[in-house]
Structure 1
Amino acid sequence: MTGSRFVHRIFSVAMWWGLLALIPIQFVTADDVVVRTQLDPEKTVSIGERVVLKVDVLGKDAWAQLAESPSVRVPGAIVFKPPGQSTRLNETISGDNYTGQRYEWWIYPQRSGLMSIPEFSLSIQSKVFGAKDQPGPVSKSTAAVEIEVARPDGVSDQLEVLATSSLKATQSWSSDTKTLIVGDGITRTVEREIEKGPSLLLSPLDFANLDGVENFVKQPATDDKINRGELTGSRRDEVTYVFEKAGKVQLPNLQVEWFDTEAQELKTETLQGRTLTIQPSPEVAGAQPSSDSIEAGGTRNHRSGWLFVAGALALVLGGVYFYYGAVRNRWLHYLEARSCSEKTLFKRFVASAGSGDAARTLRDLVRWSDVVQDREPAPRLDSLFVAYGDAGDRQRLSELECAVDDQDVRSAKASFDGAGLIACVKVIRSRIRLRQRESVQVAQSVLPPLRG
């Protein structure tokens, strides 16, 4: 009996070892992962025409996908990462089964010549089907690719052109009146929409400064929508004109130039300005109340006192009636200007960065950047970091943008170094202020001496 139990135990152990031998132990290495890079189209494109960068990641006997979204930067081009544009792949390569994903980036070249897309690193996570313990991510790099970009016929090399198959530009005004008084304001709203391109292609409008008119430009509102693989970008710009002196004011036309890729011709959309008459604020002349005859002893009679009170009350009510609109508008414009001041926007950015919300942080950082670059015709956040920051500052900006763009592959909320970003932006802000002080000192040094 003892011998049979021993044999049975030996047989059980052997059977279990045999079953374990049938279960493959999977190890995924970089050699088991295939990365392919291609462009669509592969040959020459025109400025503004979409170039699709396709990156395939495939795992041998495993499903490969990106562990995190990489930051793609292309000099002289705008890069847009479309959400949800990944495709499942299943192929047989040299007799082995490979499964993975295809990812896309849409690139819009902004200048002619050879456009080079440098290689960038990928962190690839593979999932082995049926395995209890999954392998860790491996690092691979894409291949560098190039494509020739041609400038459309009839378009000068000095002209920055918006190339699209369709552009819609409309405007509206907050009031139809043609007569205002000093201190009043009117808001102009311009909406633009393009097909087959993101809102990043729509550059800021140039609201010219006019004599006696103060401009208050609001932060633009942008939107990107994808319908059946086609991208539509839109941008809404608002400016409030506040009139500071009386006279005739001609609010200028706005011209939007673009190249029609369907008709292959340069077009201009003109948004008409307006001619307004600004009247001076009504002035209330001082008046002395009439009085009856002075009674003996130098005292006024009772009726004269009541007339004086009624006259004073009439003056106060008249002043309120005439000045209420101007005072109210000035107060509202003051509050609006204060909410858009550099100091307020910087505090808002610091609060957003401290909260850890990447999207809100990037939004408030762009708003602050637009204010400190108000003299630039087309202010860009990356240009500010290039002009006043170093490589470390630009890296923190890239990390913030990656945290915002990383939507379709992350399993948790993207994080970034908010404290480090605040520190580097404070340094950039101090450098900007130093540059401004130096500019003022130089301007003062070239002034002619005062006459004695």
Structure 2
Amino acid sequence: MRESGRIWLGIFLMLILTISKTPAQNIWSDVSLDRNSAYVGQPIEVTISVYTSTWFTQGLDIGNIKVNGAFTVYFRPVTTSYTEDGVTYSGVKQIYHVFPYTEQDITFPELDIVVESPAPGEYKGRKQTVKTQPKPIRVKPRPSKFSESDWLVASGMSVTERWTGIAGNPDGKKVKVGDVLERSISRTVAGTVSELIPPIAWDSVEHVSLYPSRSEVNNNKTKTEISASRTDHISYLFEKEGEVVFPEVVLTWYNPYRNQLYKRTLKEIRVQVEPNPDLGMLASVRDSLAAQQDELAKEDLLEDKPFTILGISPEKFVALSVGVVLVFIFLIRVLRKMITMQKKRRASYLASELYYFHEFKKSLASKDDKSIASKLYRWLDALDLEQPSATYFAKRYGSATLQDQVAEMESKWDNGGQFSALDWKEWESARKNYLKRGVVLKTGWINPV
């Protein structure tokens, strides 16, 4: 017996050692930032890494990530691997750039990443979900010497200017009152998104009406870099003769990597405006430009105004509709339950002693002895009486008056006579005396006292 026990113990220990040597699957994720603080508009590179001790049977698809208070741009995946303690781990990195647009601190959110990878010794992938930790990011306020409307973080910017109209390039040219010049300033900015490029702040010009039009914006992204462009347009309507001076336009950007401010200046433009005898044309052009402004304002209002259903957002409408449907379903169920309960109560009532007692009461009004006798004894039959007779009931639970009435009634009925002078209150009082005993009736209906 001792030798047998040693053998089984050895087998058990070998099994434990075999299991302990079986490599366990190890999957984990990590989120790293290239910086923990940034200015408004300064990109933070976020790298999301996922590793497995085997391999990935499907690519990772994290998708778009929403960061409150920031724009998020996905760049590219990068495959990687490393070896530790003799085990090689396969990894995939997903790279994003996050651009804060508010001076409030932001948080890169925690993520639930679905990974498909086989366990060691297997070949079929198993789906698992790994969680990442949220990453706080401190947003530094812009330096006080910069206005919010001029603040732009970029690694570089190019600027082009174009004038169109009857005068072409207006510098040194002559125009007449009522003429219109169109001006465009285009900026191509490296290291940002178009939403962060501030619009041109057009300076007012004496004796000239300004009519800005819609800007054109675009984002350009490669696997490693992003840039954006913005073109702002304006129309100038000359309304009085004389020299008109368009002041210089100074465009600035801040390079956080060099901690340096850059500026680009578009030089001042002078235009000589000649008189125009046809002043009616001035009014016509003014009206046309004003109409164009109204149309642009309406289009902008439609674009800015969120889509609504019955005055509320689609999300709220869906939530409200779901709530209404759920309430309606609940009410239907409650109504069905009430109807079912009412039917059961009705069916129970129709089989109860109380129902037959009410039928007996109705028969008294008919003055028909046959009906009275039938209803009376049907009710007495529903009671738990040792003797289901009117005489027994009256003697056991009724008053002397009721007993006399029943005796007279039975006597006349036995002799073929009629007797309808039953006192309802006496029967009701006797029934109460009966119910005080708490008797369970034959039908199972328990009447209240």
Which TM-score applies when normalising by structure 1? 0.49
Which TM-score applies when normalising by structure 2? 0.50
Larger Rg belongs to: 2
Which structure has more relative contact order (CA 8 Å, sep 6+)? It is 1
